[in-house]
Amino acid sequence: MDRFRELRIRNARRWSHIQEGHLNQWYDLPAFRAGGCSLRSIDAEILGDVSGKRLLHLQCNAGLDTLSFARRGAIVTGVDLSEKSIDFARDLTRETGLEARFVHSDVMDLDEMLPETFDLVFASHGVFCWIDDLSRWMAIAASHLEPGGLLGFVCLHPALWPFDEDGEIEASYFHEEEPLVCEPDNDRDLPTYEWQWTVADIVNAAIGAGLRIEELGEHPVASYRIRKELVPTDDRWWRWPGIPHLPLLLSLKARRPDEEAGRV
């Protein structure tokens, strides 16, 4: 087995291990079960109107965001490497009566597991730090787009990677082949293996996969309190107090060219 694939599997085990606590911390499950939407504003807006469109959600976690797109009218498929997360997503689909399909797979194996294309491909927040080969990830995302289809993602801004939550530098901004091993705070948890990718890495991987970039966004909000100085907002984001020091989120929209029509 490829060594990095084994590390991705270890990460999946860790996500399964912490799933219950993560769900309760990250999502408002009672509100979602009552018909709410788990998507934050940037997540919901990046793909535009999804009604009637086939949407593939990569690294979908426990499926709440995927099902939120279903509530907006999309025909959704979610993929995640954590079997426990996929099982939860399937149970939640049955519980809510929504239409959705969830596939247990390593994204890097998706060409074999899911040989079909979609109008939209989406990923958000916990995306590239779990990926050891960004060019391959982007090529797989592009291969699952119909001609003219749109890839959209939102992730923590790579500029934050070098800093710990106190603002002290602890890592390089630039990509290194070997992952950063994050040891747990207690004996019950499991370590994670994470990779840094720069903005240039992400943009060039999209270009290399044959995608045409339509929009690159940098945002002064984060989806969780990644730095101690951040303060909560009324719309479920965390912001810098006063003048923003660094961007907190990176977003990108990229389209697969529609060769037959001679347009994008």
Per-residue pLDDT reduced to its tens digit, 36-92: 999 999 999 999 999 999 999 999 999 999 999 999 999 999 999 999 999 999 999
What is the DSSP-derived secondary structure letter of residue 179? Answer: P
Q: Where are the domains of the chain?
A: 3-255
Instruction: Name the fold adopted by 3-255.
Output: Rossmann fold (3.40.50)
Q: What's the pLDDT score for residue 27?
A: 87
pTM of whole model > 0.95?
no
> Could you give the CA distance from residue 209 to residue 205 in angstroms, rounded to a whole number?
6
Q: What's the pLDDT score for residue 95?
A: 96
Q: What's the pLDDT score for residue 187?
A: 64
Residue 144 has pLDDT above 70, yes or no: yes
Region of 61 (left: φ > 0; alpha: ψ -120 to 50; beta: rest) is left
The alpha helices in 47-109, defined as continuous H runs, are 64-71, 83-96
Lowest mean pLDDT among 3-7, 66-70, 87-91, 143-147: 3-7
Residues 22-38, mean pLDDT to the nearest whole number: 88
> Could you give the CA distance from residue 191 to residue 147 in angstroms, rounded to a whole number?
40
Are the beta carbons of 150 and 119 closer than 8 angstroms? yes
Per-residue pLDDT reduced to its tens digit, 209-254: 999 999 999 999 999 998 899 999 988 999 999 999 899 999 999 9
Residues 126-145, mean pLDDT to the nearest whole number: 96
Contacts of 220 (CB under 8 A, 6+ apart): 239, 240, 244, 247, 248
Q: How far is CA 53 from CA 150, 159, 222, in A?
A: 11, 33, 28
Are the beta carbons of 214 and 254 closer than 8 angstroms? yes
* Tokens at 71, concatenated: 């509530």
> Could you give the CA distance from residue 145 to residue 93 in angstroms, rounded to a whole number?
24
Residue 145 has pLDDT above 60, yes or no: yes
Q: What's the pLDDT score for residue 92?
A: 97
Residue 260 has pLDDT above 60, yes or no: no
The overall average pLDDT reported for the chain is 92
Contacts of 62 (CB under 8 A, 6+ apart): 19, 23, 27, 80, 85, 88, 89, 92
